[in-house]
Every structure is written in structure tokens, then in C-alpha cells.
Structure 1
């Protein structure tokens, strides 16, 4: 509940800094006004898809939103901060129809790591954002769909495989085989994106 409250406060702050009303954000994100109102008050649990739409409307990425909401580095100065996340900790977020994402990063860092467990067997909507993205498959098999300028690319990845691509490339992925055996580490580098002005990056 505390994490949802912090996420809602972060969205409200960025919305107000951008001079947007809730209704305007609802139109830009194609989400309902009541849902956004509940989200800002910490009463709704968003999915990664809804966070992606909100982030795009606010000029940032969903990972950056989550990192801002996870709080500042736990110890040390801003330039040498340390953020420790133990097993079972981290902000949980719904990721698709059956998946769960665990936010491992915090504000003040130029990278935003997220661990995904479980996954849908069906492709869902594409994501795109500033910066670069790195995928590493810990367990299970996934298929990554990249909408590059040269056309669609499909990459099948298993344990130990990794993939890097520009975040601006439309991308999405799905599970192959047993959905409950999928575990993926995603690291997003959004240094230089609009989120940097709110504490991201150097």
C-alpha cells in the first residue's frame, strides 16, 4: 500500500509539473479518469501497460516512474548512493495478463532494473521509450518481437541469452513453453530522457 501511495504521488507530481489536469492525462494516456484518480491516491494497482501509457503522456518511461517511486538511494551521497533490494523485496507491479514485475532500482541512478516472473503466451501491446534496453533470460524461454525500421524481427531466447536494443524500437515479448517458469531481468537506461530532470541520471 505504501508503494502504491508513493507511485500515485509521483504520477500526480509529474502531472502537475507538466501542467496537466487529470482529465487531460486521461485523454493522453487513453485511460479512464476514475482509474487515474484512484491511482494517484494509491487505491489502484496499475499494470505495466497502463504505466507505459501514463509515462508516455508525461514524457518519461514506466521504469523511470517506478524508480522515482521506489525512493532515493538508501545510503551514501547522491553520486555514490547504494540501493539494496533483498530477495522478496522491491515494488511489485502487474505485468500483463499473468506476469509480475519486481522493481529493483531507485531514483538517482541512470539504470532501471526490473525482474519479470511469469509471462503471457500471447503478445500484448508494443512498448517504446527513450534510452536503451537490455534483456537477460534467467529461466524459461521467451520470444522477443522487435519492430525495427528494416521490418519485424523475432528472437527466441533461453536461459543465459541476452538481447540489447534501442528503447525507441517498438518491442514486446511473450513466454514460450511453461509460463510460470519464466524469469527475465530487464535493465533500462533512460539517461538523458525527460525523467532525468526529476532525479534520474547523473
Structure 2
């Protein structure tokens, strides 16, 4: 099967040196986590590329911390490895210098590895040691993308903007419209997708997914 485009994001060369150093460290952590799990699964780079429908050169750069994936390509990699995007993103967390190691995990505004997604970015706020994976989403596409599903239950809270969340239930798809202050929870394994209502640049929401399953324990 021909490899599809990775839709990766390149490191921003115009960021301040300190920010570039942090970004490089986070990319290296993410690449190490992917390589470690790939080897635990007994897969070569070529085999993982085929399973994820991504290019072998892109995955090689990713594992070496030279690039970072978009949310859709990270989803493909995670599915091919039997885990979730959130688990891989959490693996890229690094301890904050203001907090003693092991006591807490602090993420300041603007910190964390941003991962591009249609219409905006996602930023992991958690770390592997914790049983929940909080992610901040800023900006959102005004069109529905592919469905996502994962083993962990998920909580979604809308801070700004308005979104439609479509959930695939036993009786068929159900669309829920959420505005600022609204929230929704749905069980793990539920196929879901989101889109902005109106201006997608106004959307900002927080999701919290619980880490469950054997694949997650590899990173705990």
C-alpha cells in the first residue's frame, strides 16, 4: 500500500532559542517513546510505516526527533502500535524546573509540545506517570474529519467558541452542540468526531481521557 502524506509540522525556526531548545527536547522524547514501543512490538520502521500508511523516511525523522507528526498521523502511528495519541504525547512531557521530580507535573502557558490538527493545535498537559491525559485544543476545523476512538473514557469541556460533537451510538450517530461552559463525557471505544460551529479559530476546549489498557502501562 503506498504511504500517505504525513502532514507533519516542521520545527519553527523563528522561535526564541530557549523555546527551540525545549521544542527539540520534547520532539526527542516523543521520538524515543515511539521507537521504544515499536521495538517492544517487534516491528521494523518499514513495517510500522506500512501499518500506519506513512512514509518510512518520515518515521525515521520522527524517531530521531527531527520532526513531529500532525494529530492525524500520530493517530495512525498510535493505532499501528496498539496505543493512543494521548499516551504518545504524554511521553513527550518533561519535568518542569520549578517542581521537584515526582512531586507534581507543571505546564505553564505556552509550554508543552504542540501537535497540529485540522484547523488548530493540540497541547498535552499531562505526563506518563498519571492515570489521566488532559489535552488543550486551540482552533478547530469547521468540517467534520475522520472518526476517532480510543479505549479510555473521555471528558470534553468547551472554554470558548461552539462545537458539534458527533458520537456513534448503537442506535446511530448523535450530534451534540456545545458552547462555552458546556461539557460532555462518553465511554471509551465510542467513535467520535468534532467540528466548529462558526469561526473555528474561536474554539478552545479541554479534554481529559483516562489511561487504560495494556498499551498504556508500557509508558506508566
TM-score, structure 2 as length reference: 0.84
- Give the structure 2 partner of residue 196 of structure 1: 217
- After TM superposition, the structure 1 = structure 2 runs for residues 15-54 of structure 1, keeping only pairs within 5 Å, are 15-54=38-77
Aligned pairs, number: 195
5+ residue gaps, structure 2, are 1-23
Q: Does the 8 A contact of 2:26 with 2:94 survive in 1?
A: no
Instruction: Specify the SS of the correspondent of 2:108.
Output: coil
Matched, 1:92 2:114: yes
Moved over 2 A (4+): 71-77
Q: CA offsets per residue over residues 45-93 of structure 1, 9 Å max, x none?
A: 211111111111111100011101214685354xxx3101111112211
Q: Choose between structure 1 and 2: higher strand proportion.
A: 1
Q: Does the 8 A contact of 1:130 with 1:193 survive in 2?
A: no
5+ residue gaps, structure 1, are none
- After TM superposition, the structure 1 = structure 2 runs for residues 41-190 of structure 1, keeping only pairs within 5 Å, are 41-71=64-94, 75=100, 77=102, 81-96=103-118, 98-190=119-211
CA distance in 1, matches of 2:134, 2:69: 18
Distance 1:56 1:72, change over 3 A: farther
Q: Does the 8 A contact of 1:71 with 1:107 survive in 2?
A: no
Q: Does the 8 A contact of 1:148 with 1:169 survive in 2?
A: yes
TM-score, structure 1 as length reference: 0.91
CA distance in 2, matches of 1:83, 1:159: 27
CA RMSD across the alignment: 1.5
